[in-house]
Amino acid sequence: MEYTLNCNGRLLHLGTPQVMGILNVTPDSFYADSRKQTEEDIALRVQQILQEGGSIIDVGGCSTRPDSEPVDEQEEAERLRFALNIIRKEAPDAIVSVDTFRPDVARMVVEEYGVDIINDVSEGADTKMFRMVARLGVPYILMSVQPTIQEMLLHFAREVDELRSYGQKDIILDPGFGFGKTLQQNYEVMNEVEQLRMMELPILIGISRKSMIHRLLGITPSEALNGTTVLNTLSLMKGADILRVHDVKEAVECVKIVAATKAQQTINRK
């Protein structure tokens, strides 16, 4: 099934998987190279994401790395205002997603800056956030902290029904690699992630340089690009519609190679 997202009146087609580039305006994200806090660094990162073929810029103002202490809502909002002012000046037509679990922050970024997508990494269904995104009318990324595909499907079904009851239209599912899962469970979910297709909703995969890679291989996040590329490729073969990544160029190459492979498979079937 070919999905589209309505991003403030613009349709983003997912017939070809899209790449979402990460821009963290935090001092403590787990991958140091993703932290951008000066005006120049933010502007350069925006240019890099777009020039390398990313179609979505995902901005985070509050670190969600394991064992981190979230900043308060005011600090998160101030960081996002600073970044979004620069992004909108640098690339006014870019599709922008904001990574937040706070409904009032979601409202602020959509109403004040025209943010196109809310990427929610909260650890459970939040009725207040569900109502907020439905009112705002923007696509919503719903993440799961469930440790198995079976539990994930059950929770997603209930949460999607609740979102629909509030009038939410565009919903993207994120299996939440690295959230609420052991190392083994992360790979069990990856092995079965194509089962999420039965929900008939687009799927976002975010495994870029995460601990499921560097812990398994005994390396650091800065050394985890190769492992990320392997898992991004596997995710695309299993039906991912959006890749959320630090390394945009390499992810775009994965999309092109997998698309060429799938096209050849289609020809061979005929």
Residues classed as catalytic: 210, 244
Residue 258 DSSP SS3:
helix
What letter represents residue 76's amino acid? E
Contacts of 192 (CB under 8 A, 6+ apart): 149
Q: Which residue has the tokens 């002012």?
A: 85
Pairing of strands 204-205, 56-60: unpaired
Q: How far apart are CA 27 and CA 267, in angstroms?
A: 49
| Residue 118 near residue 100, CB atoms below 8 Å | yes
Please state, as a whole number, how many other Cβ atoms lie within 10 Å of the Cβ of residue 257: 12
Other CB atoms within a 10 A radius of the CB of residue 269 amount to 6
Phi–psi pair at 269, nearest 5 degrees: -65, -30
Cβ-based neighbours of 1, under 8 Å, separated by 6 or more: 200
Name the residue among 89, 99, 104 with its Cα closest to residue 136: 104
3-state secondary structure of 107: helix
